[in-house]
A and B are shown apart, each in its own frame.
Chain A
Amino acid sequence: MQRQVVFNARFLPYLLLAPQLVVTCVFFFYPAAQALYQSAFVADPFGLKSSFVGFANFKFLFLDPYYLASFQTTLVFSGLVTLFAMSLALWLALLADRLIHGDNAYRTLLIWPYAVAPAVAGVTWMFMFRPGVGALSWYLEQAGYQWNYVLNGGQAMALVAAASAWKQVSYNFLFFLAGLQAIPKSLLEAAAIDGAGFWRRFATIVFPLLSPTTFFLLVVNVIYAFFDTFGVIHTITSGGPQQATTTLVYKVYADGFVGQDIGSSAAQSVVLLFLVGALTVVQFRYIEKKVHY
């Protein structure tokens, strides 16, 4: 038994879609097409001269070992951010879900970091951890730990990943909490009566029923780690030390806006476009199969 509403007017559906289509065209398709076009040229910054070079910009990129290294950096970084942000959020959501008193206060506090702009988050973390200035770096030093992310690439990576993840935990927390509250209490109670402990219930009931949320968050977090962490990286490490925290997106900025090399920057954007497209396809083709709605 299906009921369909049919619009008689021919143009009304298009009109209703128009605002979204305009936004998509102007802010997505048009810039993407521009990037594709510019990636085939080498131009001077002022746009006075530009010469067609075909795929030379891509060749220049893929012959550059530092560009290839930034793929690896990006993968490590995205993996860390996604893992930190999601596992911490799930843990907090589980705890908050069991709260009886004061749950509103906890939730509000946990959601706060989401309202912080990436650059502000970056500066905050930078001040806490800057060697010689930061309060937490002072404690680390007192504890005898050699903390210097300005020279130690591993520490720099851990720091930017933690700061980026911290910002995303709130968002994940909200979704996980909503997901947890949607799980029928009767199922959990039945399992509890059958003698299933907390971890057993989590593994066999809660986690599988959360899988649509988890999957959605996985996609969102990977995209977040790829594209929205620029501000954090820029304010904390500027891609350093050496190139330890230069992700693909950071390199687009560094080459395009600092180096004024628009051709190479455009080529990198095109590579990113395909990479994220491919990643999303993989996520939907292979991981989604394991998701129960």
Chain B
Amino acid sequence: MKFIKTLFVSIFICASSSGAVAAATEIHWWHAFTGRLGALLAEQVDQFNASQSEYVVVSANKGNYSETLNAGIVAFRAKEHPHILMVFEVGTATMMAAKGAVKPVYEVMEQSGADFDPDGYLAPVKGYYTTPAGKMLSLPYNSSTPVLYVNVDALKSAGIDPKADLSTWNKVEDALDRLKASGHKCPLTTAWQSWVHLENFSAYHDVPFATKENGFRALDTELTFNGDAQIAHISAMGRWAKEGKFIYAGRRNEGSANFRAGECAFATESSAGYAGIKKEANFEFDIRPLPYWPSVSGAPRNTIIGGASLWVLSGHSPREYRGVGEFLSFLSTSDIQAKWHQNTGYLPITLDAYEQTVAEGFYKKNPGTDIAIIQMTEKTPTSNSKGLRLGNFDQIRGLIDEELESVWAGEKSARAALDSAVKRGNALLRRFESANK
């Protein structure tokens, strides 16, 4: 037994001594970005570190979104957590429920005295991350919204006018019919099916995704995405899948890869897919607003966001929080935001950044890049289109994926699949509620 004790003691000494050195003025930021996004993020950090000498921001990649959240949670349990953690929008309810683990951003900013204007953020972006009273809990960082990408060459070879109006699903359906008739193998595909075709679909058509204002009001929310509008849409997609007009490629953004390769004529995908499509597509493409069904009276409303925000974790010193405040204030400046928006296709999340981008003539030079922002901000969000705040939502998305796959495979009707998804999802919501009472 002594062996074990020595082992533990030595591990403990190693762990605690390395933690002690890191204290002082370092601000740790764990994020989920690699590749080009990771490089752009590192550039922001370097710029901040060079701009002052009191604090040093140290950024570290912890894998994909789910892995980063998990790393933060595990580190919190071991009291080795960073100051700032990047959490995807799906994890928002999890973070909000973890009251003792999180230091709300409004509090950090008040105490640090750093320059910060929460009202500078676009309402639909901010709304996702604020309390019902409008206080900002986490800092929006990267936000995107789904749009329709069009392969102009494919339309031309099917004899469709590439300038044709594609604002509604009825019109898109006509185009799909003609593409199919001309022998096209993949008229329509999608990335992130639940996010685009249920979550955003519901907001865009002003129908509830869940009760209690999509979970914003209370934990005892229940899913309601098995309404008539959603069933009609998923039925139509199921029919297109059966007729070979909609080709399902996978749960994440596999569909986007097929579009970039020039195989598919239409793709519904995040506005942040822009950078990749622009880089890889060797065909002419166009960006259009997400289509809607005019038969649904509330449509089109506004779409909602995906992406991530920065959460400040509790348990650090006031001095460190001042540094966090300075850094977050730096991140929200319009130069940083405008550059991020233009380089990535993520939304400009502050009004200043948007105006700066307009003034620089970016949208003129890159037509279609302002579609996402217009689609999100043109109308005031309703309680159905403010966003979603649901616990265990990563898992709920997983089971929605499963049920949608059963529709695309022709095994279940849209109604049966959505009913089942609602029932299974509600069980997970109740489990979340009981863990966070």
Which A positions have Cβ atoms within 8 angstroms of B?
A: 18, 22, 25-26, 42-49, 51, 60, 64, 66, 130-133, 150-153, 238, 240-243, 254-255, 257-261, 263-264
Q: Tell me, in angstroms, the Cα distance from A258 to B344 when the chains sit together.
A: 26
Residue of A nearest to B394 (CB): A258
Most buried by B among A25, A64, A259: A259
Give me 6 A-to-B residue pairs in the complex whose CB atoms sit less than 8 angstroms apart, sorted by A's number: A46-B73, A132-B261, A152-B409, A254-B398, A260-B73, A260-B394
| B395 pairs with A261, CB closer than 8 A | yes
Q: Which of B83-103 contact A (CB under 8 A)?
A: 94, 97-101
- Confirm or deny: B286 has a beta carbon within 8 angstroms of a beta carbon on chain A: no
| A46 pairs with B77, CB closer than 8 A | yes
**Which secondary structure dominates where chain B touches chain A?**
helix
Q: Tell me, in angstroms, the Cα distance from A45 to B66 when the chains sit together.
A: 13
| A133 pairs with B409, CB closer than 8 A | no
Q: Knowing A46-B77, A258-B394, A261-B392 are in contact, say whether A242-B406 is a contact too (CB < 8 A).
A: yes
Interface residues on B, range: 35 or more
Q: Tell me, in angstroms, the Cα distance from A42 to B263 when the chains sit together.
A: 47
| A44 pairs with B436, CB closer than 8 A | yes
Contacts of B66 in A (CB 8 A): 257-258
Q: Tell me, in angstroms, the Cα distance from A264 to B431 when the chains sit together.
A: 10
Q: How far is the CB of A126 from chain B (nearest CB, A)?
A: 10
Contacts of B402 in A (CB 8 A): 240-243
Which B positions have Cβ atoms within 8 angstroms of A?
A: 3-4, 7, 66-67, 69-70, 73, 76-77, 94, 97-101, 186, 247-251, 254, 257-258, 261, 263, 392, 394-395, 398, 401-403, 405-406, 408-409, 424, 427-428, 431, 434-437
Contacts of A45 in B (CB 8 A): 73, 94, 98
| B73 pairs with A258, CB closer than 8 A | no
Residue of B nearest to A259 (CB): B395
| A26 pairs with B4, CB closer than 8 A | yes
Residue of A nearest to B8 (CB): A26
Most buried by B among A48, A60, A132: A132
Q: How far is the CB of B89 from chain A (nearest CB, A)?
A: 15
| B94 pairs with A260, CB closer than 8 A | yes
Q: Knowing A18-B3, A132-B258, A151-B248 are in contact, say whether A42-B405 is a contact too (CB < 8 A).
A: no
Counting residue pairs across A and B whose Cβ atoms lie within 8 Å, the total is 98
Q: Tell me, in angstroms, the Cα distance from A281 to B431 when the chains sit together.
A: 35
Contacts of B409 in A (CB 8 A): 151-153, 241-242
Q: Knowing A48-B98, A242-B405 are in contact, say whether A150-B395 is a contact too (CB < 8 A).
A: no
| B436 pairs with A26, CB closer than 8 A | no
Which 3 pairs, one residue from A and one from B, show the smallest C-beta to C-beta distance?
Answer: A259-B395, A46-B101, A241-B405
Instruction: Please pick, from B261, B398, B424, B427, the residue contacting A258 in the complex, using a CB distance under 8 A.
Output: B398
| A49 pairs with B435, CB closer than 8 A | yes
Q: Tell me, in angstroms, the Cα distance from A22 to B254 when the chains sit together.
A: 45
| A43 pairs with B435, CB closer than 8 A | yes
Q: How far is the CB of B241 from chain A (nearest CB, A)?
A: 8
| B431 pairs with A22, CB closer than 8 A | no
| A22 pairs with B70, CB closer than 8 A | no
Contacts of B101 in A (CB 8 A): 46, 48
Q: Knowing A22-B3, A240-B402 are in contact, say whether A254-B395 is a contact too (CB < 8 A).
A: yes
Q: Knowing A25-B4, A46-B98, A261-B392 are in contact, say whether A238-B251 is a contact too (CB < 8 A).
A: yes
Contacts of B261 in A (CB 8 A): 132-133
Instruction: Please pick, from B98, B186, B254, B424, the residue contacting A66 in the complex, using a CB distance under 8 A.
Output: B424
Contacts of A43 in B (CB 8 A): 435
| A44 pairs with B97, CB closer than 8 A | yes
Q: Tell me, in angstroms, the Cα distance from A43 to B76 when the chains sit together.
A: 14
Residue of A nearest to B397 (CB): A258
Residue of B nearest to A41 (CB): B435
Q: Tell me, in angstroms, the Cα distance from A240 to B400 when the chains sit together.
A: 12
Q: Knowing A25-B4, A242-B402 are in contact, say whether A47-B249 is a contact too (CB < 8 A).
A: no
| B408 pairs with A151, CB closer than 8 A | yes
Q: Tell me, in angstroms, the Cα distance from A252 to B408 when the chains sit together.
A: 27
Q: Tell me, in angstroms, the Cα distance from A44 to B100 when the chains sit together.
A: 11
Residue of B nearest to A153 (CB): B409
| B405 pairs with A26, CB closer than 8 A | no
User: Given A46-B76, A260-B394, A261-B392, 17 more contacts at CB 8 Å?
Assistant: A22-B3, A26-B4, A26-B7, A48-B101, A49-B436, A132-B186, A132-B249, A150-B250, A151-B405, A240-B405, A241-B405, A241-B409, A257-B70, A258-B66, A258-B394, A260-B70, A261-B431
Q: How far is the CB of A49 from chain B (nearest CB, A)?
A: 7
Contacts of B392 in A (CB 8 A): 259-261
Residue of B nearest to A130 (CB): B254
| B395 pairs with A44, CB closer than 8 A | no
Q: How far is the CB of A110 from chain B (nearest CB, A)?
A: 33
Contacts of B247 in A (CB 8 A): 132
Q: How far is the CB of A22 from chain B (nearest CB, A)?
A: 6
Q: Tell me, in angstroms, the Cα distance from A25 to B4 when the chains sit together.
A: 9
Contacts of A131 in B (CB 8 A): 249
Q: Tell me, in angstroms, the Cα distance from A263 to B73 when the chains sit together.
A: 15
Contacts of A26 in B (CB 8 A): 4, 7
| A259 pairs with B394, CB closer than 8 A | yes
Q: Tell me, in angstroms, the Cα distance from A69 to B100 when the chains sit together.
A: 38
Q: Tell me, in angstroms, the Cα distance from A51 to B437 when the chains sit together.
A: 10
Contacts of A241 in B (CB 8 A): 402, 405, 409
Q: How far is the CB of B147 from chain A (nearest CB, A)?
A: 22
Residue of A nearest to B410 (CB): A151
| B435 pairs with A42, CB closer than 8 A | yes
Contacts of B435 in A (CB 8 A): 42-44, 49, 261, 263
Q: Knowing A26-B4, A48-B98, A258-B398 are in contact, say whether A132-B77 is a contact too (CB < 8 A).
A: no
Q: Tell me, in angstroms, the Cα distance from A152 to B408 when the chains sit together.
A: 10
| A42 pairs with B431, CB closer than 8 A | yes
Residue of B nearest to A263 (CB): B435
Q: Tell me, in angstroms, the Cα distance from A54 to B260 when the chains sit together.
A: 52
| A60 pairs with B394, CB closer than 8 A | no
Q: How far is the CB of A257 from chain B (nearest CB, A)?
A: 5
Contacts of A133 in B (CB 8 A): 257-258, 261
Q: How far is the CB of A21 from chain B (nearest CB, A)?
A: 8
